[in-house]
Chains A and B, each alone.
Chain A
Amino acid sequence: MARRLRSGRAGAAMVIAVGTLATACAAPGSDSPQPQATTASPVSAAPTCGTAPITMSGYFETGFPLPKALTAEFAKQHPNVTWNIREDQFAVITQNAPRVLADNPPDLMRVPQVSELVKDNLLKNLDGYARVFGWDRWPASQLEQLRMGPGGRPRGEGSLYAMGLNFSMTGLFYNKKLAEQIGMSAPPATLAELDAVLAKAKDAGITPIVQFNGGATGGLAFPLQDLMAAYGPTGPINDWIFQKPGAGIDTPTNLQAVQHLERWIKAGYFQKDVNAVDYATMMSRFIGGKGLFMFNGDWESGNLDKQLPGDVGFTLMPPARQGGKRAAMSAPLAFGIAANAKNADCAAFFLNWVATDKRAREIGVEVGGSHPMGPADAHLPAVKPGTVTADTLAAGADIARDNGAMDFIANATGAIYAKSWTPQLQKLAAGQQTPQGLLKAVQADYARQIEGN
Chain B
Amino acid sequence: MTPPAPGRPARRRGAGAKTRGWAGWLFVVPALAFYAVFVLRPISLTFQYSLYRWDGIGPSTWAGLANYGKVFTDPALYDSLINAVKLIVFFSAVPVLLGLAIAATIRRIAHTRLAVVARTVLFLPQVIPLVAAGIAWSWLLSSTGAVNQFLSLLGLGGVTRAWLGDLSTALPAVGMIGAWVLLGLCTLLLLAGMSKIDPALYEAARLDGAGAWREFVSITVPSLRQEIAVCVTVTVIAALASFDIIYISTQGGPGNATMVPGLQIYYLAFSEREVGMASALAVVLMLLVIACALPIQWFTKDGKR
Contacts and interface: CB of A to CB of B under 8 A. Distances in A.
B226 interface: no
Contacts of B255: 275, 423-424, 426-427, 430, 432-433
A27 B62 contact: yes
B165 A423 contact: no
B40 A28 contact: no
Given A29-B58, A29-B59, A99-B56, A21 B253 contact: no
A276 B143 contact: yes
A141 interface: no
B270 interface: yes
Nearest to B267: A418
A34 B48 contact: no
A281 B138 CA distance: 12
> Interface majority SS on A: helix, strand, loop or mixed?
helix
B206 to A, nearest CB: 45
B49 A28 contact: yes
A276 B167 contact: no
Contacts of A6: 1, 21
Contact of A27 (B17, B60, B252): B60
Interface size class of B (residues with CB under 8 A): 35 or more
A430 B167 contact: yes
Contacts of B166: 275-276, 430
Contacts of A384: none
B44 A120 contact: no
Given A274-B165, A276-B162, A216 B41 contact: no
A30 B59 contact: yes
A120 B254 CA distance: 33
Contacts of B271: 94-95, 414-415, 418
Nearest to B28: A10
30 contacts: A6-B21, A18-B40, A18-B43, A25-B48, A27-B60, A27-B62, A28-B275, A98-B57, A98-B273, A116-B55, A116-B273, A122-B57, A214-B253, A216-B253, A272-B143, A273-B142, A273-B165, A275-B162, A275-B167, A275-B255, A277-B162, A281-B142, A414-B273, A415-B271, A418-B271, A419-B267, A423-B254, A423-B256, A424-B255, A426-B254
B47 A22 contact: yes
Contact of B44 (A18, A275, A276, A277): A18
Interface residues of A, number: 52
Interface in A152-185: none
A370 interface: no
Interface of B: 1, 17, 21, 36, 40-41, 43-45, 47-49, 52, 54-60, 62, 76, 142-143, 161-167, 250-256, 267, 270-275
Given A29-B57, A98-B56, A423-B254, 12 more contacts: A27-B52, A34-B58, A95-B271, A102-B57, A273-B143, A275-B166, A275-B253, A426-B254, A427-B167, A427-B254, A429-B254, A432-B255
Contact of A430 (B254, B267, B274): B254
A119 interface: yes
Contacts, number: 138
Nearest to A218: B253
Contacts of A274: 165
Contacts of B161: 272-273
A418 B76 CA distance: 12
A276 B214 CA distance: 46
A426 B57 CA distance: 33
> Interface majority SS on B: helix, strand, loop or mixed?
loop
A243 interface: no
Given A22-B48, A273-B142, A423 B57 contact: no
10 nearest A-B residue pairs (beta carbon): A276-B165, A273-B162, A276-B162, A275-B165, A273-B143, A426-B254, A215-B251, A216-B251, A22-B44, A95-B270
B250 A215 contact: yes
A445 to B, nearest CB: 9
Contacts of B272: 414-415, 419, 449
A95 B273 CA distance: 9
A427 to B, nearest CB: 4
Given A28-B49, A95-B270, A427-B167, A17 B40 contact: yes
B58 A120 contact: yes
Contacts of A415: 267, 271-272
Contacts of A275: 162, 165-167, 253-255
Nearest to A422: B253
Contacts of A424: 255
Contacts of B251: 215-217
Contact of B253 (A3, A98, A215): A215
Contact of B60 (A28, A98, A426): A28
A119 B44 CA distance: 28
A21 B36 contact: yes
A52 interface: no
Nearest to A415: B272
Contacts of B165: 214, 273-277
Contacts of B41: 21
A2 interface: yes
A276 B40 CA distance: 40
Q: Determine which residue in B41, B162, B254 has the highest number of CB atoms from chain A within 10 A of its CB, and name it.
A: B254
Contacts of A271: 143
A414 B274 CA distance: 11
A281 B145 CA distance: 13
Nearest to B43: A18
A234 B252 CA distance: 32
A159 to B, nearest CB: 18
Q: Determine which residue in B47, B142, B252, B255 has the highest number of CB atoms from chain A within 10 A of its CB, and name it.
A: B255
